[in-house]
Copies of this chain bind each other. A is one copy, B any other.
Amino acid sequence: MIEDKDIHVGIIGGLGKMGRWFHRFFAELGYQVSVADLGTETTPEDLAKTCNLVLVAVPLQHTVEVVRAIGPLVQNDALLMDLASLKSEVVSTMLEVSAASVIGTHPLFGPGEPNVTGQTVVMCPGRGQWWQEWLQGVLVEGGARVEVVTPEVHDYYMAVVQGLTHFSTLALGLTIDSLGVDIKNLKRFATPAFHRRLVEITHLLSQDADLYAAMPMLNSTYGVFYREFERIILDLKGVIAQKDIDEFIRLFDRARSHFRTPEP
C-alpha cells in the first residue's frame, strides 16, 4: 500500500518546460523528485523501475513511443501519468502496456504560470482509485479546477479549443504572409480587436512548429472540424459575393443564439 510520504516522483522529460513546471510543483509539496531527459545520467528506464509516480512529460509526438518503452517497467502499485494535449491514444496505450495505475492528464495552461491556482487541469483516469483521489486532491488543494472526463470527450473539445483555434489563427497569419501585406504598415491601421489578433498570431508563431504540426496530425477529429470550417468559409464567401444580406443576417443570428445558449 502506497502512503503519501512514500511518493517519489520521476519525470521523464524533466528538463522540458512543463517537466520543470511539475518538478517545482511536486517539490514544493514536499515530494522527492527525480528527473530523466536527453543528456541526464538517469534514464527513463531507471525512473520507471524505481519511482512510484512516473510522469511522462515529453513532446506530444513522442509520448506514445515513450509510454510503450517504459510502461512495462512501471511497478504495479505505482502511477503512470502523462501531460499530452491529446488523450485517447496515450491513455489506451498506457493501459495496454502497463499494469500500474494510469491517469491521462492535460494541464490547460502554459509553463509561464506561477502555480496551479485558478488553472484548469483535465484528468482522464484510466485505472486505480487511490492515485486518482490523491492527484485530484493535490490539484484541488493548490486551487486548480479539475475536469474529470473520458479521453474521447477531452479530445472532442480540444478539436475546437486547440484545433480550430490554432488552425484559424495560423491560416490568418499565413494569408497575411502570402498576400505580402507589410506588417509595419498593418500595425499603423490596427483596431483594438485586430491588435489582439496580431498578438495571438505572433504568439502562436513564436512556439514550436513541431507541436502545432503534431496536434492535428495525431487527432482525426481535428480533420473533421477543419472540413466543416472550410465548408463554412466557402458558404460565407458565397453569401458575401452574392450580396445576400438576408442570408448573412440569418447565419449571424443563428450563431448568436448558439453562443447565447442559456444555462440548463
A108 and B222 contacting across the interface, CB-CB below 8 Å = no
Min CB gap A117→B, angstroms: 14
Q: Which of A185-213 contact B (CB under 8 A)?
A: 185-186, 188-194, 196-197, 200-203, 205-206, 209-210, 212-213
Establish whether residues A254 and B177, one from each chain, have CB atoms under 8 Å apart when the complex forms.
yes
> Chain A contact residues: over half helix, strand or loop, or mixed?
helix
A194 adjacent to B162 (CB under 8 Å):
yes
Q: What distance in Å separates the Cβ of A177 from its nearest Cβ neighbour in chain B? A: 4
Asked if A2 CB lies within 8 Å of chain B CBs, one says: no
Q: Identify which of A12-20, A50-58, A66-74, A233-241 touches chain B.
A: A233-241
Query: Given A109-B192, A205-B256, A263-B184: A226 and B213 within 8 A (CB)?
Result: no
- A residues near B (Cβ < 8 Å) are 108-110, 120, 122, 147, 154, 157-158, 160-162, 164-165, 167-168, 170-179, 181-186, 188-194, 196-197, 200-203, 205-206, 209-210, 212-214, 216-217, 222-223, 225-234, 236-237, 240-241, 243, 245, 248-249, 251-256, 258-259, 261, 263-264
